Structure 1
Amino acid sequence: MKIIFLLLIAQLGFASWVYAQEGAPQEAPYVQDENEFDVFSNEGAMSEEADAAGIENEISKPGEAKDVINLNEASDKKIEDELILEEDNKVAIPQEAAPYQEPVVEEVKPAQKIRRSGKTTRSAKGGVEYIHHPQAEKGLVLITKEGAYIYKTEESNSYKHSGAFRFGTMDAPQITAADGTTTFAQMYSGSQLPVISFDFDWQPFQGFGKLGMQTGFSLMFASGNGRFANDGQQAEEKYTFIAVPLNLGLTYRLEIWDRQWLAPYISGGGTYIGVMEMRDDGKSPNIVGTPGAYGGGGLMFNVSAVSRETRYTLRTEYGIQNLWVSADFKYLKTFSEDLDFSSAIVGGGLVLDY
């Protein structure tokens, strides 16, 4: 019996040793039981082994050919939309506020009341009524069918200045050359001498007519060939003759009414005539002069009195009060025997009042 008992104990001890070698050591008093974590761990291990086997099978299998992409074909719109990058967020730039401006308050004056005349006047054909217009106080006299306003303007007759441009001719001066035989008319080939005059009048006295002072100057010119002193034959040298009379005197115009159509005038005073004779051969010119006097008169016709429109245009656009056309006569007398310019001057011109 003892031997059998010892054998059982030895067998149990051997079995315990074998179990201890196969299983993990466990602390007392816990006993390892089967639970859900062991099941999951076993399944996880099995899935990992299956995945590894699948990967090996895929590696061992030959790769399938991928689809060829044709760039000439239209791409999928959805793919393009997915590839479009979103725009960056726009940053709003702060704007400065406009400066505050105080509103301008304008005072509105009440409109003037239209005054109607008590008496109504109609035209001969009827249908036209003449009433009082607010602009009548400013000179409005008529409104045309086209809407043009016609005003009555006040004309000022306080002008005291006049300017004249005249053109005329005179006899050739009585001048004899150094040979004693050649005259001015022979040397300069002409018996008449053209004269251009510019006169300026100042008329401070305007009682019965207009009385004032007159100043101005004239131009006389001629050209010709020289003469030989021994035989008087024509030379090749060219001569130019210029005379400049300087005038100062008085003038009177018989102008009594406004816009007078005709106005006679007279004038007279002293003059000094400067003379210069130039040559084209380079020699020095000859310069001489002589005093004298003049007197004359004429008749002026008022062009601006003919047309109201012309008169208005001249006055408003150019400041000309009257435009005259004149016919003139003047007699010139000099006091030198060597330079005798004594002659009558006949001509005409334009006279401007301003």
Structure 2
Amino acid sequence: MRSLKLSLAAMMTLASLQTAHAQPKESAPQEPPYTQDENEFDTPAESGTTDEMLSIEDEIKSAEPNPTAPVQVAEPKKEESTVNLNEKVPEAGGKNLTAEEEPSVIPVSPVVEVKPAKKIQYGEVVRQSPKGGVEYIHHPQAAKGLLVIEKDGTYVYKTKDSGAYNKTGTFRIGTMDAPTIVSKDGTTNFVTMYHGSPVPIFMFDFEWQPFTSFGRLGVQAGVGFLIEQGRGRFACDNCGTLNGTESKEKYTFIAVPLNLGGIYRLEWTSHQWLAPYISGGGTYIPVAEVRDDNTAPKAVGTPGVYGAGGMMFNVSAFDRNTAFTLRNEYGISNLWLTAEYRYLKTFNEDLDFTSNIITLGIGVDY
């Protein structure tokens, strides 16, 4: 039995070899993959035959595609494209553009120069209130003289004002005693012809104070104005009942006192509330009498002296806003209300203006 199997195997092997040699050499080779059906009766007989079969199988396997091997796909040739210099290059980690996606052109906005914001400098704390609830700090306007900000939003600044002044002007209005003037015949006088006491008077005094070390010592010059109107009196021996009676002519009496002297004010600060003062000097009083009947006017005069004392009340010291406005808008350092008593003594007995003068006034320092 064993010998029979060996004989059959040998015959099949020879038949296969003869068939292979019997194919024409110029026939088309079989394309891989080519697999020859095996028979259960096919068994390798010799080692040479087995090696040849193994080499054929290796070639077939090498020609078969390996599904596990990586497949290399040729990339399509990229088209040449222009480079847009205004296009932003994608940052690392961003989305990369593929060949199929066309890059979008981003419009370039005009360059706008933005200045950096100024750094706010906060002032240092100067001090705290005794209770610790309020902090006082340096305001940016403090360098320009800002002192305080009121509750209503008013900014109060410290002005660069030396406070120096050496001139004062004062307007006064008051009353004086009626002058003692009697006509030559003795029939009439100032009281019966014009007006009795008191007589209104207007005055203006100008002061210049060159010495301000211990109070204010200066020169005072002034002018006054007194005016009265009345009717004349008949004075004749043959007038009968008309003698001494009132006439129809109107008379105007005008006196202009001229004063020159000195003044000393007890004032040591620039905004002192009260300032008493004393003054004195010489005076000359020109007098004119004018009639309305075209008669030539008559003019005379008398010299004299005066002495005065008074009190000055500083209005601007009570309101700093008023003082600031007066100083900056009008150049007025102090605004005074004055009260004065002046005694006047003249030396002409026929034209006697000796009297007591009481005035109230308003004065300004500049």
Query: Normalising TM by the smaller chain, what interval?
Result: 0.5 to 0.7
Structure-2 change in CA distance of 1:227 and 1:119 (3 Å): closer
Pair 1:152-2:158 in alignment: yes
Please, which runs of 5 or more residues in structure 2 have no aligned partner?
Answer: 1-114, 237-242
Q: Secondary structure at the match of 2:335?
A: strand
Please, which runs of 5 or more residues in structure 1 have no aligned partner?
Answer: 1-107
Matches within 5 A, 1:1-354: 114=121, 116-117=123-124, 121=128, 126=133, 129-144=135-150, 148-230=154-236, 231-354=243-366
Structure-2 change in CA distance of 1:250 and 1:145 (3 Å): closer
1:40-86 Cα offsets, whole Å, 9 max, x none, are xxxxxxxxxxxxxxxxxxxxxxxxxxxxxxxxxxxxxxxxxxxxxxx
CA distance in 1, matches of 2:217, 2:188: 45
Name the structure 2 match of 1:87. Answer: none
Contact 2:125 2:137 in 1 (8 A): no
**One-letter identity of the residue aligned with 1:204:** P
The structural deviation recorded for 1:118 is 5.8
Contact 1:219 1:242 in 2 (8 A): yes
Contact 1:221 1:243 in 2 (8 A): yes
CA distance in 2, matches of 1:336, 1:318: 43
CA distance in 1, matches of 2:210, 2:224: 24
CA distance in 2, matches of 1:165, 1:116: 50
The structural deviation recorded for 1:181 is 2.8
The structural deviation recorded for 1:309 is 1.6
CA distance in 2, matches of 1:175, 1:200: 30
Aligned length: 246
Contact 1:216 1:248 in 2 (8 A): yes
Structure-2 change in CA distance of 1:140 and 1:229 (3 Å): same
TM-score for both structures, normalised by structure 2: 0.62
Q: Percent identity?
A: 58
TM-score for both structures, normalised by structure 1: 0.65
Structure-2 change in CA distance of 1:112 and 1:221 (3 Å): farther
CA distance in 1, matches of 2:118, 2:216: 48
1:276-328 Cα offsets, whole Å, 9 max, x none, are 00001110010111111111110111111111122112112221111111111
The structural deviation recorded for 1:225 is 0.3
**One-letter identity of the residue aligned with 1:199:** D
The structural deviation recorded for 1:253 is 0.4
1:193-212 Cα offsets, whole Å, 9 max, x none, are 11100000000000110000
Name the structure 2 match of 1:9. Answer: none
Name the structure 1 match of 2:43. Answer: none
Q: Secondary structure at the match of 1:309?
A: helix
Structure-2 change in CA distance of 1:133 and 1:286 (3 Å): same
- C-alpha RMSD of the superposition: 2.4
1:102-134 Cα offsets, whole Å, 9 max, x none, are xxxxxx9x96973632667479584x5433233
Q: Secondary structure at the match of 1:305?
A: helix
Name the structure 2 match of 1:11. Answer: none
The structural deviation recorded for 1:144 is 5.0
**One-letter identity of the residue aligned with 2:249:** E
Structure-2 change in CA distance of 1:265 and 1:309 (3 Å): same
Contact 1:178 1:229 in 2 (8 A): no
**One-letter identity of the residue aligned with 1:253:** R
Q: Secondary structure at the match of 1:229?
A: coil
Contact 2:126 2:136 in 1 (8 A): no
